[in-house]
Structure 1
Amino acid sequence: MPTDLDVRTARDLARPDVVTLEDVLAGDPTTYRVLTGDRPTGALHVGHLFGTLATRVALQRHGVETIVVLADYQVITDRDDPGDLPGAVREVVLDYLAAGLDPDATTIFTHSAVPAVHQLMLPFLSLVPVAELDRNPTVKAEQAASGRALSGLLLTYPVHQAADVLSVHGTLVPVGRDQLPHLELTRTVARRFNRRYGHVFDEPSALLSDAPLVLGTDGAKMSKSRGNAIELRADADATAAALRAARTDAERTITYEPERRPEVANLLLLGALASGRTPQDLAEEVGDGGAGALKRYVTDALVAHLAPLRARRAQLARDRHVVTEVLARGAERATAIADATLATVRVAMRQTA
């Protein structure tokens, strides 16, 4: 009997505004433009690698135009002190490059370097009632996670995301199934603008991701702020120490049961991803070896898998100018697109002489 998740998945995949990576690659990948990004709150970890970075590299490899925004302005949506923001941006860009993103094929830029994105946000805000923002799932989730009073920036966060996408005329936005409602506001903004001022924007589709969710070493969502992440820039000793401390359970025999044994299942998933196997096969091999044997296997597999990436990252980090040059090239490209979009919007709104 199909579960609720199976039914929702089938319904989502039947939507014309939802595509999968397989759909993109089955057609002409060069007809798409992907907009995706991250908040630079710290160096990236293995959850990012197996979750989002691998998909971006695959898109790039197949000729999909990919634009990545580092949303530095959005760092302050849920914190008073952004910390060393330039340093955080540098660390993330080094992670991108080490993981395989090529600045000759993928545009990487920061929010603060492209003013037209934020100018576009103003007319977009006029299209969205406050009540609609109040009930937006993105806003509610972010506020709950931060535990802070709702700021104007956080309230308008989804509109800022819409400006990111529409400023560069992104046609695909990678999301998980639980994020499908978030992209709908971008589609709504595009649709309302077109209805009011004439057609300027195509409504972007969701690129539905089947990327695995890698949990942290404590069984919760992997996050640097929780201290449960394995950073891409870490060395082999730090990786081994994190995995030795990873939470498991009291059962000796290793089985892959994500619902009943999430911590053990997460280690099996991590080991499988790093070694190109399935979690079920790995569980069968470890068997009665227990958590100690499992952790040793995962440590060896992950350290070996990350070794080339970490070597590239160390080499890149020795060049003081590499990140600056990548961001300058990306900002130039993104600015040209966003400026042209803003000019078109102003004409449509009859704001030019």
Structure 2
Amino acid sequence: MKKVVVSGIRPTGDAHIGNYLGAIKYFVDLQNDDNECYYFVADLHALTTHPEPSILKKAVPEVVKTYLACGVDPKKAVLYVQSSAPAISELFMLLSNIAAVPLLQRCKVYQTQIKEEHKNDNFGLLGYPVLMAADILAHQANLVPVGEDQIPHLEMARDFAQAFNRRYKEVFVEPQAMLKKPIRIPGIDGKGKMSKSKGNTINLTDSYENIEKKLLVAPTDPKRARRNDPGTPNACPVIFEMHKLVSSKNQVKTINEECKRAGIGCRDCKKILIVNMEKMIKPIRERYKELETKPFIITEILAEGGEKAQKHIEKTIDAAANTMGIFRY
């Protein structure tokens, strides 16, 4: 029996290699493993940060083009926009009535966003885990691919499912986490992970020239001052870490050995990475550019995907509503 897999991405601007290696590539693998996959663009979640309407409207199809360019196949997975399945919003409302406010306030992700990232404190942020639970439970998802930072939200989705099933009757499947091996993509500035907000990314639409420009100035081993000095690959905050992700095992092994004996210089090491990075990004970039000339394809895929998603979840939403005493007249 096929497993139901659900996951989504917020439309927050140009996708970078961290998005691809950390999430989208995994989505492609899951669809090819004969799972029943539902991948969505989380436009409702994006509203919590008050994006400009024009920017959000433009960002949604860009995310879809990225999905498609990276290999998500609408013949194997349902691709839709969150707001195109309005039954999810209804389930959000139903689940809100069993979600304890103190539990939401204790959520570490919520506390971090309010205290450290200084985001506006609004109900959308507080209720974020409830909407995420609705995204998952609506599809009766068995498996949810998540990173470690999303585990608390998934646990809350399980809590809501258990609370509902216990209080009324068993309606929801309890989803399980699909924990990926953590992939830490360093930013090109060497200051923490790659992030759009920090402007330290290599985007999936970057040209060869842009990739080269960004990587040639990336920091390397700070103690290797001269070409003939032996290096310490693991002290290289960007280049060697990226080699581990995009270069072959044999290349990584050779670079590690040659760097330690000063057989290869930092610039030469960067040039190898640039070639390998371009090899990975080029097919994605070219497919993305092709899709830009065919906007009608995106519209058709999203219309069909939204219809399929809505149809798939209606039975579950109706069951939950009826169980709570809400009937359609």
| Residues 120/325 of structure 1: CA separation in 2 closer, same or farther (3 Å cut) | same
Determine the structure 2 residue equivalent to 1:345: 320
- Structure 1 residue 293 corresponds to structure 2 residue 268: yes
Aligned residue among 274, 282, 301 for 2:246: 274
Q: Secondary structure of 2:249's partner?
A: coil
Q: Could you state the TM-score of these two structures normalised by the residue count of structure 2?
A: 0.91
Amino acid at match of 2:198: R
Check whether the contact 1:108–1:327 (CA below 8 A) recurs between aligned residues: yes
Q: Deviations over 1:226-270 (max 9, x none)?
A: 11111101111111111123233422244342xxx3xx2442232
Check whether the contact 1:194–1:201 (CA below 8 A) recurs between aligned residues: yes
Deviates more, 1:183-192 or 1:54-63: 54-63
Q: Secondary structure of 2:295's partner?
A: coil
Deviates more, 1:131-140 or 1:182-191: 131-140
Check whether the contact 2:205–2:281 (CA below 8 A) recurs between aligned residues: no
Offset of 1:281 from its aligned partner? Answer: 4.5
Amino acid at match of 1:296: K
Give the whole-Å Cα distance in 2 for the aligned partners of 1:270 and 1:169: 37
| Residues 127/280 of structure 1: CA separation in 2 closer, same or farther (3 Å cut) | farther
Determine the structure 1 residue equivalent to 2:232: 255
Offset of 1:145 from its aligned partner? Answer: 5.2
Aligned residue among 282, 296, 301 for 1:307: 282
Determine the structure 1 residue equivalent to 2:133: 162
Determine the structure 2 residue equivalent to 1:86: 57
- Structure 1 residue 239 corresponds to structure 2 residue 211: yes
Check whether the contact 1:173–1:204 (CA below 8 A) recurs between aligned residues: yes
Check whether the contact 1:40–1:88 (CA below 8 A) recurs between aligned residues: yes
Give the whole-Å Cα distance in 1 for the aligned partners of 2:150 and 2:39: 18
Give the whole-Å Cα distance in 2 for the aligned partners of 1:290 and 1:181: 44
Offset of 1:178 from its aligned partner? Answer: 4.2
- Across the aligned residues of Structure 1 and Structure 2, the Cα RMSD in angstroms comes to 1.9
Q: Runs of 5+ in structure 2 lacking a partner?
A: 225-229
Give the whole-Å Cα distance in 1 for the aligned partners of 2:53 and 2:118: 17
Aligned residue among 272, 295, 305 for 1:330: 305
Offset of 1:316 from its aligned partner? Answer: 1.9
Offset of 1:221 from its aligned partner? Answer: 2.0
Offset of 1:213 from its aligned partner? Answer: 1.4
Give the whole-Å Cα distance in 1 for the aligned partners of 2:84 and 2:217: 41
Determine the structure 1 residue equivalent to 2:88: 117
Give the whole-Å Cα distance in 2 for the aligned partners of 1:80 and 1:43: 15
Aligned residue among 9, 24, 43 for 1:38: 9
Alignment of 1:194-233 (within 5 A): 194-219=165-190, 220-233=192-205
- Structure 1 residue 62 corresponds to structure 2 residue 33: yes
Q: Secondary structure of 1:84's partner?
A: helix
Check whether the contact 2:6–2:143 (CA below 8 A) recurs between aligned residues: yes
Determine the structure 2 residue equivalent to 1:99: 70
Determine the structure 2 residue equivalent to 1:4: none
Determine the structure 2 residue equivalent to 1:149: 120
Amino acid at match of 1:239: I
Offset of 1:210 from its aligned partner? Answer: 0.6
Amino acid at match of 2:232: T
Amino acid at match of 2:203: E
| Residues 293/70 of structure 1: CA separation in 2 closer, same or farther (3 Å cut) | same
Check whether the contact 1:76–1:82 (CA below 8 A) recurs between aligned residues: no
Offset of 1:128 from its aligned partner? Answer: 1.6
Q: Could you state the TM-score of these two structures normalised by the residue count of structure 1?
A: 0.85
| Residues 309/80 of structure 1: CA separation in 2 closer, same or farther (3 Å cut) | closer
Check whether the contact 1:35–1:170 (CA below 8 A) recurs between aligned residues: yes
Q: Secondary structure of 2:140's partner?
A: coil
Number of residue pairs the alignment of both structures matches? 319
Give the whole-Å Cα distance in 1 for the aligned partners of 2:40 and 2:295: 21
Q: Runs of 5+ in structure 1 lacking a partner?
A: 1-29
| Residues 178/84 of structure 1: CA separation in 2 closer, same or farther (3 Å cut) | closer
- Structure 1 residue 283 corresponds to structure 2 residue 256: yes
Check whether the contact 1:69–1:111 (CA below 8 A) recurs between aligned residues: yes
Check whether the contact 1:174–1:208 (CA below 8 A) recurs between aligned residues: yes
Determine the structure 2 residue equivalent to 1:47: 18
Check whether the contact 2:221–2:231 (CA below 8 A) recurs between aligned residues: no
| Residues 233/163 of structure 1: CA separation in 2 closer, same or farther (3 Å cut) | same
